[in-house]
Structure 1
Amino acid sequence: MSVLIVIPARYASTRYPGKPLVALTGASGKKQSLIERSWRAACAVSGVDRVVVATDDDRIREVAEGFGAEVVMTSETCANGTERCAEAHAALGGRYDVVVNLQGDAPLTPHWFVEGLVQGLKDMPEAEIATPVLRCDGATLNSLLGDRKAGRVGGTTAVFSADNRALYFSKEVVPYTGKPYTEAEMTPVFHHVGVYAYRPQALAQYPSWPVGPLEQLEGLEQLRFLENGRSVLCAEVEAKGREFWELNNPEDVPKLEAMMAKMGLE
């Protein structure tokens, strides 16, 4: 099974313009751009045939090529990372069995998250897309709730059926728990990790589907699959002692840097 990882990156982010080029300082004091750290995370995944950065911006292309990444230029009309992945895959000949979307704002994504998604598609042939979910401990849940209370859009949560098929994704914290948790206590809330593994046929069809009301309201690209009746596998992954967070807002930079320092990530 051939695997392509695409790292979609755009400069003109509404919430955080220029985000892919933001420098993050690691445990050793080494500074690297967000896009480079995401690329290095992708290169650490086993069983992958090719890793590319997909962008529509020459500034990102120049930086990415500068640290050795292969870049595929895509159009400015891509509405989200999934559409950019579809365009990049087509530009590369559309010949891969699995296309992974490792979003450029998730540099702390452990390699086993992605490897678990590819395995999930192997194990569930009827699934057309797989995405990881991570059970929140009390500290993570409190951080999500804190973002919402402060009016910030932080992480995304997921709810799914007993056979791990996605029911819904939201930028709100779902399900409602109605009780406090200690920092180390495990909760019934699952943090959705912004990584996707697609079967090529579903990925190719995605840009032709209309944007539904749920995707429009939440601003979550994966909801287009659910609104079009497609099967999305939520693959539960384990942190294995690693902390995880995405760079969604400028306030997340010190949080990510603190996590890298704690984990000794350069």
Structure 2
Amino acid sequence: MFMRAGLTIGEFSQITHLSVKMLRRYHEVGLLEPDRVDESTGYRYYSTAQVPNAQVIHRFRELDMPVREIKAILATPEPEARSALISEHLRRLERQLDTTRAAVTSLRRLLGPASPPLQVELRTSAAQSTAAVQAMVDQEEILRWYDGAMTELDAALADACLSQSGPPGGLYDNALFTHERGSATVYVPVTATAPAIGRVRPFVVPAAELAVTVHHGPHDDIDVTYGALGTYVAEHALAVAGPVRETYLVGPPDTADESAWRTEIGWPVFRTGIRVSG
């Protein structure tokens, strides 16, 4: 009786939609080895039992998962450990999608019709008692860190039965933008001394002179508003050292309508006798 040697690399390629070139590459790196290699001819032969693994690899590669991570997943027998590895990659993809969306939004705004003149107000901001979370943060982690810090702040204030006396805000060190790592502080104004719970601590936001404008909508293109305000400050020779402030006047806790979100940006300045343009 004739015994079939197995599926040739071409046949296996047709079944799995992995190219012959990729199958050879995956064999070389130990990701998907043939069931058998003929010693005399060097021909690769695959079994039908390998089709599911090949399809899994195909899907992971479509999601740009690195080969080393796919190998780790396939070599992990525990379902929970496999799920954790896959989830981490999916979270990375979500961050990349957020970055792409933000870049597209910024480009549309930059390349679209001219925006109306920037509305800037020079303002003296009084010192403010708050509950805050502070940390040294990498720029690429700032959104995740912010979400976690705000969740912790909300929980701490609820535990202490403290009322919020104004919109939340943040202070962001210049090094976050210039060196991709710097100090970040998110805070919530409170009516009494804030508790010290977990990472939450009492914090007094210092008084400052600020050039202030309001960013409308989600933060996908907030860098454009930053650029416009920074240009204004530079052209009027106003800038001084100090962290930029953001005040979240209207945000996700207030409405799901992103177009209604409002973020006030305050740039530390040295007040002069110049007139503010409206």
TM-score, length basis structure 2: 0.21
Q: RCO (CA 8 Å, sep 6+): is it higher in 1 or 2?
A: 1
Bigger Rg, which one? 2
TM-score, length basis structure 1: 0.22
